[in-house]
Amino acid sequence: MARGGTGGPGRFIGDDDYRSSFKEDLESTIDLSTWSMGLDVERLITDIRAQISHSATAEETIQATVRTEVLRKLEEYTKLDGAGVYPASEERLRTVFEALLFPGRVEAVTSIVASHDSLPLGITQLGVAVVGYGGTSGTFSQRLFRKELSTGNEDPVRDAMECMGERHERSGMGRRDQLSMLARRGLRDYSERAILLDKAQAEWRIGQGNPCSRELLSGSGYPRLLMASLKMLSRLIGGHKKFVFVPHAMEERGYLTLGHALQAGEYAIIRTLESDSAYFVERWSYPNEQIREEALAFVRKYCRDILIGLFRSSEHAPPCLFFAHREHVHVAAHIVMADSLIHPRRGFPMLLEVADSSCRGVFGSDSFQGLVQDAYTRAGGKYQYFNERHSRRRET
């Protein structure tokens, strides 16, 4: 569960890194005499089958060791009271179905972003849906319009030159467009959690991702969003408490290794969110130390109450990560496991899937792009401003 990675930011890949990962030297890889002419199907099939067989066998050996020597000693390794592996209670799962999920006492919140980015105008649409098994509780949307050039100024030539300079600075030399990232990630994460806290009505709320995401702990580079995020998260963690967050994908391979060592119907409580969040805050480039200290104070006070866990709902499903308040972590684990059993091969909470489908149905890219194209038609058919690559960008 190391936080760093080979070849991470600010670090070049060394020969040992390459050799350790690919089991050969770079010279062998780029030696064209070792390359096949065209698509050598027989060799491809042989190589892939051999590598998969060897890797799967090795992985099973690792999982057996992790299960017997790591999972059974989680409390010893993590120094966290209550860390360990737990079997899901069939009685509690049944109670969750009958008393929480199907009566509508659990709601899920997820979001979607659709965008249009052309030379004269950028539009970002944020859409959020709140869904329970009783139906959609509400849908919410916000649109940001980004314009860099206004008309009617005293010196239009100067304005045009400044506009060109700003556009070049924003997009030149492979730079990330920080304001677009702010809209697509930072505001999206904030709006999901704020709506989950203030607009959802159910006793229990399910969100997507890490509740204290990096976008929120950094404000996506915008201090005012950071302060708003810390205030909102303080109310969610310190006040509501009955929440559980599940990421769509598990990128941390240390957690993934632990998760695959779980048997179907088991969940594990691993650690608190404090150390991972503090590690990020201590290394992020904040505008001043006071802001860093405020973010760190939030982490020390609230992230220690969020526990990180893993669950595996069925034999055919991959493991999932979850985040829940320490006071309700066992109920939270049973809620997401019960909801995941509705689609056992997927092994992911069905309410989040339903919320995602609802979001796409209301705020999907097709309808959004249709409205944009209609507006361009009414403006005189100025389609030359459409960027083909961006017009194919799908909602996320």
Beta-carbon count within 10 A of 307 CB:
24
Q: Is the per-residue pLDDT at 388 higher than 70?
A: no
Integer Rg of the chain from CA: 24
Q: Is the per-residue pLDDT at 175 higher than 50?
A: no
CB 245 within 8 A of CB 323: yes
Cα-Cα-Cα-Cα torsion 198, 322, 109, 145, nearest 10 degrees, comes to: 90
Share of the chain above pLDDT 90, in %: 44
**CA–CA gap between residue 184 and residue 371 (Å, rounded):** 19
pLDDT of residue 4: 44
Give residue-wise pLDDT tens across range 343-353: 888 899 999 99
**CA–CA gap between residue 316 and residue 232 (Å, rounded):** 38
Q: Is the per-residue pLDDT at 6 higher than 60?
A: no
DSSP strands (E only) in 88-134: 106-117, 122-132
Of the candidates 207, 217, 239, 218, the residue with the CA atom closest to the CA atom of residue 305: 239
**CA–CA gap between residue 366 and residue 368 (Å, rounded):** 5
Q: Which residue has the higher pLDDT, 221 or 168?
A: 221
pLDDT, average across residues 211-231: 94
Of the candidates 184, 181, 200, the residue with the CA atom closest to the CA atom of residue 355: 200
Q: Which residue has the higher pLDDT, 168 or 187?
A: 187
pLDDT band at residue 2, thresholds of 50, 70 and 90? very low
Q: Which of 174-183, 318-327, 365-374 holds the top average pLDDT?
A: 318-327
Give residue-wise pLDDT tens across range 33-80: 888 777 777 777 877 788 777 777 777 777 778 777 778 878 777 788
pLDDT of residue 11: 67
DSSP code for 394: P
**CA–CA gap between residue 162 and residue 119 (Å, rounded):** 14
pLDDT of residue 117: 72
Phi, psi at residue 370, to the nearest 5°? -60, -40
pLDDT band at residue 8, thresholds of 50, 70 and 90? very low
pLDDT band at residue 174, thresholds of 50, 70 and 90? very low
Q: What is the secondary structure of 30-63 as a DSSP string?
A: H-GGGSPSS--HHHHHHHHHHHHHHHHHHHHHHH
Contacts of 102 by beta carbon, 8 Å cutoff, 6+ apart: 133
pLDDT of residue 55: 73
The DSSP bridge partners found for residue 125 are 114, 143
**CA–CA gap between residue 83 and residue 72 (Å, rounded):** 9
Distance, C-alpha 30 to centroid of its chain:
35
For residue 143, give Cα distances in angstroms to 122, 124, 198, 307: 10, 6, 20, 34
Q: Which residue has the higher pLDDT, 157 or 82?
A: 82
pLDDT of residue 34: 83
- DSSP β-ladder status, 243-246 and 204-208: parallel
Of the candidates 313, 357, 378, the residue with the CA atom closest to the CA atom of residue 87: 313
pLDDT band at residue 232, thresholds of 50, 70 and 90? very high
DSSP strands (E only) in 157-242: 204-208
| CA dihedral sign, ordered 294, 300, 305, 310 | positive
Give residue-wise pLDDT tens across range 92-101: 999 999 999 9
Q: Name all domains of the chain by residue range, CATH numbers in brackets.
A: 79-149+182-371 (3.30.2170)
Phi, psi at residue 176, to the nearest 5°? -80, 140
Coil, helix or strand for 120? coil
Angle at the Cα of 262 (from 352 to 351), degrees rounded to 5?
Answer: 10
**CA–CA gap between residue 266 and residue 334 (Å, rounded):** 10
Among all chains, which residue has been given the structure tokens 């995941």? 340
Give residue-wise pLDDT tens across range 108-120: 999 988 877 766 6
pLDDT band at residue 390, thresholds of 50, 70 and 90? very low
**CA–CA gap between residue 307 and residue 298 (Å, rounded):** 16
Q: Which of 49-63, 140-154, 300-314, 365-379 holds the top average pLDDT?
A: 300-314
pLDDT of residue 394: 45
Q: Is the per-residue pLDDT at 307 higher than 90?
A: yes
**CA–CA gap between residue 76 and residue 2 (Å, rounded):** 18
pLDDT of residue 340: 94
The tokens for 208 are: 């997507």
pLDDT band at residue 143, thresholds of 50, 70 and 90? confident
> For the packed helices 187-198 and 223-235, what is the interaxial angle rounded to 10 degrees?
30
Q: Which residue has the higher pLDDT, 158 or 69?
A: 69
Q: Which residue has the higher pLDDT, 327 or 366?
A: 327
pLDDT band at residue 271, thresholds of 50, 70 and 90? very high
Q: pTM of the prediction? A: 0.79
